[in-house]
Every structure is written in structure tokens, then in C-alpha cells.
Structure 1
Amino acid sequence: MRSRVVAAAVALSTAIGPQADAAPVVEIPPGVTTGFAVFDRHTGQMTVQHQATMQFRSASIVKILIALDYLNGRGVGSPVPDIDLALLEPMLRSSDDTAASILWERNGFNAIVHRMAALIGLTETQPPADPNWWGRTAVSAADVVKIYRYLLERAPHSFRDFVLDNLRKATQCATDERDQYFGIPRALPRPWAVKQGWSGYPDPPRDEKCVVTGEGAEVNEIDLRSPALHTSGLVGEGDREIVVVLTLHPEGTTWATAAGRITALTKSVLAASARRAAR
């Protein structure tokens, strides 16, 4: 089946006027539901976006909020004790779920999302209906862009450096033995800082385990069944662009297929963004 093609930067069409017909296109793999956004920090504008306010379950992207809430609770200038570093670093670098669950419970479950949404000004982000499932927090691509912008532009420098330094050290193999180098890490060479997310996939069989090879709005019903795979982060020299690609795949989609699709989609999104920036 051929990929369907959609015009990106829909929200920018009013601003670009007569150029709307020439808007860059992004190829979306068949069967994939996606919301994406690329924000250029040099121009202060989105270069491409599609369904940027659509809510998806966050999977592990919410771990950025868990870390920020922890740091905010301790306050500027308060060192992070080693016992908590042992939770925060693997949570951010290797997407450790156990560490996230400990911090989520300790700091108030859904209260974490409420505090961070109010602090950052998130409009589509809402806590999960069942507070035991942090990965079912609702987010949108536009809100994830806001989270990265908060880190870069408004957060205390020590908080920014702690979170982003860990995201720059994202390991290829996650704690659950999944290869988390899909999307941005496969679409672009370094420099980048990334936080990935996935949900709805069984544990990898032995022959598919990761081996290192080198580089609030009102909550709508969000899809909790379709396999989710998300890529987000900062790319380019000086962290020029914020890139967020959120995806849902048909039930039964394998990890390898979904990873290939989101990587191809991310490449297409980045190519469209580059064409827009070159105008």
C-alpha cells in the first residue's frame, strides 16, 4: 500500500498566504495515526506541524515532567542525593520504568501532572484516569514542544542542565532491553538530546533484544490500545530545533515495523522542515 501524503504546517497556512499550495508534504505510513511538530528556535516559529494538539498517551515522555517536578520540589541549589540520582539518571537515559514508578508515587501521582501543566502552561496535557498508570498521561505534540521550550528558555539553569545532559546521554538499549534508537537518533546524526516513548508492545524475544551497535484541556478519550511509539527531542547545533513525532500503530504491529515507520516519518518531517526553513 502506498503511503498517504498530507500537507504539513497546516496551522501556518494563514501566515504564508499564497504559498500555502506549495507547503512541504510529509509522507505518513499507511495505518499510522500521528501528531507532529517542529519548532525552529532561530525563527521562533513552527516549521511544520500536523494534528499538533491531538492527544496521545504519553508513554515515557511523561518522565521529563516527573524529573522536572522532582527538581522543582527540591528547589534551586539543593543537591540531588545519590539515592535519587540512581532513579533519575536511568529514568531519563534508559527509560527505566521502575524508577519512574517510584518517583511518581512518592511525589503524588497525578498531582505531578497538574503542577507541571500549570507551571509550563500546557493545554492538552492531563493526568491519567487511573493514577497508577503514569504512561497514560495525555499529551500533544504542541505541548511536548512547550516542555522543551520551558527547559531551554525558562527553567532554572541547573534544572535545564540536569535534564538535558541526561537526555544527551540517552542509551541505545533501554532498561527493558528495547532498542530506543528510532526516530530522531536514526534520522539524524548527533548532536541531539532525546526522550522516547513506547507502549503496547510485548517483551522482546531473545533474538530481538537490544544490542548496542553505535549511535489542561478537558481530557478526551485517548487511544489506550493501539501500540504507541514516540520520538521527541532537540536537534542541531545549539539545539536549534525541537522535534516531536507521536504515533499510534494498528494492533499487532511489531516493534521493528513501528520503529521503521516512525523513523521514516521523522525523516520526512525533518525534510519538510528543512524545505520550509530554506524559503
Structure 2
Amino acid sequence: MALLLTACQAPSRGDSEPAIITTATTSTVEQRGAADAQAPPASVISCEFPDVPAARQLAEQMVANESLIASTAASTVAFAVYDHTTGVICQRNAATVFEAASVIKVSTVAARLWQSENGGPELSEEERWLAELAITVSDNDAQQYLWESLGGAPAIAEFFAAAGMTSTTPRFRDEDWGLTEVTAGDQLRLVRLLVEGSLLSRANSDYLLDLMRSVDPEQAWGVSSGAPEGAEVMLKNGWLDDPLPCDDTAESCDVTWTNNSIGYIRSPTASYSMAVFSSGNPSLEDGQALVNEVAAEIAATIQGR
């Protein structure tokens, strides 16, 4: 597997545009100007980065990680990651659509907070209690109440538009919130907005991140894998069983599993946001193991292990 490098020429105003690096099946390494750059195929790992040595080194290591390439080879696996230290953003299949499952609960709480900052009522004590349940123990009844009190799909669609989450589409039946169509790229964007405090107020962003920091340990798999020892882990996971088509006369039908994880990892030695999505997994445990594997490979690369 060779690397295809695309480095962008600096525009005349003096600003620097990000360089792009992707995995490719060519046998050469090629470097071109911005005018000749082409968007990388969706099926490869690609990275954008400030064209400085530390960022370029991380991007090259990410796209050359054979284990990461292998573990994300299927179209049913996607990831997007942003390293806050170097400004490197890498992805594979980040525009592929998945069912959100319970990661939508972060969007729901964020949307309600955004609503309160834009003319809506402040969250009541009951809503804050329900938000805690929805995020920390993934309580579906709490999520349902918050979804409906927010205003359902039309209201959360306004939030997605404000957040620039252009590839996210909610289902319009209130009980179908877990089937919201999402992408790893949009979910990474949401986490970054919270970390950077650039959509919600700093106080509301920190409130939601604090809830994500307090997730039940049994539900803390996923993007936490490979995190530095003692790191702060802020995450939310989702899992959903999808029945396979079968004959109506069958006593039971096989299912596959969707397993998703989003979050932010912070320590003295690392700071990164990540989204990992997968579908078609033969079991809940297999899906969790796959997401853990992908997250751990990404974390190891960021940490130079």
C-alpha cells in the first residue's frame, strides 16, 4: 500500500490551506499543487492537516497503519478523528450513513441546550435529570421525553442545520429517534463543537461533556479504547439490533448489530475527538470488539505507539 500525498500551495493572502494525504493503490508517492488536487476516494483512509512537520508525520502514520486499514476495510465500518494538538483530521467512509442508535442522545441534549440559548425555555430540573439518565445510563424513556419536549424531528433538524451537520437526517416518527441517519463525519463535528465551545455556550458545552464523562463503566467501551492512562474520557455509545429479512412463517429471524461510539479524550499527552461507526455485526459483542479495535489503533497512532 503506497501513499498518495497532496500538498496545497499557499494562497497569495499568506494563509496556509490544509494538505491532504490518503492511502492509495498506486506504487508511487506523488506530490501536487492545490490546483491539481483531487478529492480522495471514500474507500481509503484520508487525512487533512496543516502542512507542518508534526502534523504531516501523524497523517502519514495514520494512513500507513496496516492494522487500521485492515480493520476498517469493510464499507460497514467508518471513523473520523481530529487531533486537537496537531490539527490533523483523518477519516474513512466518514460520509457513509448509519443508524444513530443511542449516540443520538448527545444530539438531543445538545439541541435542547441550543434551543434554550435561542429563545426557548431554560431546561427544567426534570429535564436536567432526564438528560443525565439519557447520557450516563442510556435511558430510552428519558430520551423519548426529551425528544418530544424538544419538538421532535423538526426541532432537532433545526439544530443539525445550525451545527452544519448536513448529512444527518432524523426520522419523523417520534419513536424512531434511534433510526436517525448519521455519519461519522457529522458526529465528529458535533463532538468538536462541544469541545471547542463554538455552538453552545462554554457552560452548556461543559455541562454536556461532564455528562459524557460520567457514563456507566459498562457502557464505556469504544472510543475510550487505547486512551492514555489516567485520561479524561467523555463518550456516548449506541447499539441497535437490526433484524435481517426472513420468511414471515419463520419462528425467528437472525439479526445483525449496529455499534457506534463518539467522544473526546484528554490527557497531558493527548487530546483527540473521535467517532467510530459499524453495522452488520453478527453480535453485540462482535460489534463492540470491532469498534474497540478501530479506536485503539487510532489512539495508538496518535500517541506514537
Question: Among 81, 85, 89, which residue is 2:124 paired with?
Answer: 81
Q: Show the counterpart of 1:270.
A: 299
User: Aligned partners of 1:42, 1:272: CA distance in 2, in Å?
Assistant: 13
CA distance in 2 between partners of 1:258 and 1:197 (Å) = 11
Write the distance in 2 (CA, Å) between the matches of 1:66 and 1:12: 29
Select between 68-77 and 144-153 the one with higher mean Cα deviation: 68-77
Instruction: List alignment gaps of at least 5 residues for structure 1.
Output: 1-5, 173-178, 203-224
For normalisation by structure 2, the TM-score amounts to 0.69
Deviation at 1:241, TM superposition (A): 0.5
Residue in structure 2 matching 1:261, options 283, 290, 293: 290
Q: Is the counterpart of residue 183 in structure 1 residue 222 in structure 2? A: yes
Aligned to 1:171: 216
Does the 8 Å CA contact 1:124/1:139 hold for their aligned counterparts?
Answer: yes
Amino acid at match of 1:187: G
State the shift of 1:228 in Å.
0.6
Partner of 1:229: 259
> SS of the counterpart of 2:175?
coil
Give the whole-Å Cα distance in 1 for the aligned partners of 2:151 and 2:222: 32
Partner of 2:35: none
Q: For 1:29 and 1:12, how far apart are their aligned partners in 2?
A: 18
Pair 1:55-2:97 in alignment: yes
Distance 1:24 1:34, change over 3 A: same
Cα distance 1:123–1:274, how it changes in 2: closer, same or farther (>3 A)? farther
C-alpha change, 1:195 and 1:96, in structure 2 (3 Å) is same
Letter of the 2:257 partner, please give it.
Answer: P
What secondary structure, in the 3-state scheme, does the structure 1 residue paired with 2:113 have?
helix
Measure the CA separation in 2 of the matches of 1:249 and 1:39: 26
Q: SS in structure 2 opposite 1:200?
A: strand
- CA pair 21-186 structure 1, distance change in 2 beyond 3 A: closer
Cα distance in 1 for residues equivalent to 2:302 and 2:45: 9
Cα distance in structure 2, aligned partners of 1:143 and 1:196: 15
Of 154, 161, 183 in structure 2, the residue corresponding to residue 111 of structure 1 is 154
RMSD of aligned Cα (Å) = 3.2
Q: Whose strand fraction is larger, Structure 1's or Structure 2's?
A: 2
- For 1:231-250, what aligned pairs fall within 5 Å after superposition? 231-237=261-267, 240-250=271-281
Q: Residues 184 and 156 from structure 1, CA distance in 2 versus in 1: closer, same or farther, beyond 3 angstroms?
A: same
Correspondence 1:23 to 2:53: no
Distance 1:21 1:31, change over 3 A: closer
Q: Percent identity?
A: 22
Corresponding residue for residue 234 of structure 2: 193
3-state SS of paired residue (2:168): coil
Contact kept in structure 1, 2:160 and 2:166, CA below 8 Å: yes
Task: Kindly state the Cα deviation for residue 159 of structure 1 after the two structures are TM-superposed.
Answer: 1.1
Contact 1:76–1:158, Cα closer than 8 Å, also in 2: no
> Are the counterparts in 2 of residues 65 and 112 from structure 1 also a CA contact under 8 Å?
no
- Helix, strand or coil for the counterpart of 1:124? coil
1:9 corresponds, among 45, 59, 79, to 45
- Higher relative CO (Cα under 8 Å, sequence separation at least 6) belongs to 1
Deviation per residue, 1:35-64 (Å, 9 max, x gap): 101101122230x31111111111111111
Instruction: Report the Cα distance in structure 1 between the residues aligned to 2:118 and 2:97, rounded to whole angstroms.
Output: 32
The structural deviation recorded for 1:246 is 0.6
Q: Which amino acid aligns with 1:264?
A: E
Secondary structure of the corresponding residue to residue 247 of structure 1: strand
In the alignment, structure 2 segments of 5+ residues that lack a partner are 1-21, 24-43, 244-254
SS at match of 1:98: helix
> Is the CA contact (8 Å cut-off) linking 1:201 and 1:255 kept in structure 2?
no
Question: How many corresponding residue pairs?
Answer: 239
Q: Residue type matched to 1:234 in 2?
A: Y
1:132 is aligned with what amino acid? E
Tell me how far apart the structure 1 counterparts of residues 207 and 225 of structure 2 sit (CA, whole Å). Answer: 24
The alpha-carbon deviation at position 86 of structure 1 amounts to 2.0
Aligned to 2:247: none
Shift >6 Å, 4+ stretches: 19-22, 29-32
